[in-house]
Chain A
Amino acid sequence: GPLSERRLMEVRLGELPMWLATCDFSPQGLLGGVQKAWSSYYDKYINVKRGGAAGISMLLAGYCLLSYGWNYQHISKIH
C-alpha cells in the first residue's frame, strides 16, 4: 500500500527516511504510536490463552536495560 500507511516492520530499509517524513510527530501522534506499539506487543506476547512468564519477563528485561541507559552517565563515573 502507500508508504504512510505501512507499519514499521513492513517498510524497507531504503524507504526508511521517507517513511519517517510521513510520520506524525505531534504529541497525539506520538502517543498513538506508543499505544499501537504497546497493544501489538501485548496482543502478541501476553494476551495469549496459554501464556507464560516470557511476555512479562521481556518487558521487565527491557525496563532494566532502559534504567541502565538512564543511569549510564552516573555508573561510568565510578569506574
Chain B
Amino acid sequence: MNLSFFDQFTSPCLLGIPLILLSMLFPALLFPSPGNRWITNRLSTLQSWSIHLITKQLMSSMNKKGHKWALILTSLMILLLSINLLGLLPYTFTPTTQLSMNMALAFPLWLATLLTGLRNQPSASLGHLLPEGTPTLLIPALILIETTSLFIRPLALGVRLTANLTAGHLLIQLISTATSVLLPIMPTISILTALILFLLTILEVAVAMIQAYVFVLLLSLYLQENI
C-alpha cells in the first residue's frame, strides 16, 4: 500500500523557496485596501461589506473592552477563509493543513485570552473552573476536569482545523483517483464516483468556510469569558 496520498501535504520547493511562503502571502493580494474615494470598485465595495458583516457579527456579543480585539479577529477570519478556499483550487498548497501553522495561530491567541483574564480579573477567570450549582462532593473532580478542558483548548483549536482540512483534501484525492482509475473499466461506476466527487467538493467549500468561522468564534468565546 503506497502512502503517496500524503505527498500533497509536503510543501514543494523550487530553487530552495518553499511554496508555503507564496501560499501564505498570496491572499494579501486578493484584498486590496480601499482607496480614499467614496465609491471605489465593485471588489472593494464587496470586500468592505463582508468585513463589516464579519466584524459586526463577532463584536455584537462582546463588551467594550473586547472591541480592541476586533482587528486581529477579523483579519484572522479573512486569512483562514482565504487560505482554506484557495486550497481547493487545483495544484495549490494549503498552509492550514500543516499542524505547525495552526498551532502557531491557536496557541498564542488562546494564551493571550487566558493571560488577559488572569491579569485583569483573576478571581472571575479562576471562577470559570467551577460551574455554578455543582454538588459539593463533586467539586475537586470538576475542578480537575475543567482545568484539563482549559488546557486542551489550544490543542483542540489547532487540531480541529488541521484534521478537517487534511481529511477533506485526502478524500478528494482518493475519490478522484478512484474515478480516473475506474473510467476505462466500469464507466457507470465511474460516473457515480464522479457524482460523489462533485458533492464532496461542495462539502469541502462549506467546510473551508465553516472551519474558519468556528476557529474565530471559539477564540472570541474564550475572550468573552476572560475580558
Q: Interface residues, chain A, CB within 8 Å of chain B?
A: 38, 42, 46-52, 55-56, 59-60, 63-64, 66-71, 73-74, 78
Contacts and interface: CB of A to CB of B under 8 A. Distances in A.
Residue in A42, A56, A70, A78 whose Cβ sees the most chain B Cβ within 10 Å: A70
B135 to A, nearest CB: 57
From DSSP, what is the main secondary structure of chain A's interface residues? Answer: helix
A51 B4 CA distance: 42
Given A38-B29, A74-B12, A67 B19 contact: yes
B25 to A, nearest CB: 11
25 contacts: A38-B29, A42-B32, A46-B41, A47-B35, A47-B40, A47-B43, A49-B42, A50-B42, A51-B41, A51-B43, A56-B43, A59-B29, A59-B30, A60-B89, A64-B92, A66-B22, A67-B19, A67-B23, A67-B90, A67-B91, A68-B90, A69-B14, A70-B22, A73-B12, A74-B7
Nearest to B90: A64
Contacts of B39: 49
Contacts of B30: 56, 59
Contacts of A38: 29
B86 A63 contact: yes
A70 B41 contact: no
Nearest to A78: B4
A17 B171 CA distance: 49
B42 A71 contact: no
Interface residues of B, number: 24
Contacts of B14: 69-70, 73
Contacts of B86: 60, 63
Contacts of A56: 30, 43
B93 interface: yes
Given A56-B30, A59-B29, A71 B91 contact: yes
Contacts of A52: 42
Nearest to B26: A63
B41 A71 contact: no
A57 B60 CA distance: 34
Name, among B19, B30, B40, B43, the residue most crowded by chain A CB atoms within 10 Å (CB to CB): B43
A67 B41 contact: no
B32 A46 contact: yes
A52 B46 CA distance: 11
A55 B43 contact: yes
A46 B40 CA distance: 10
Contacts of A51: 41-43
Contacts of B4: 78
Contacts of A48: 41-42
A36 to B, nearest CB: 15
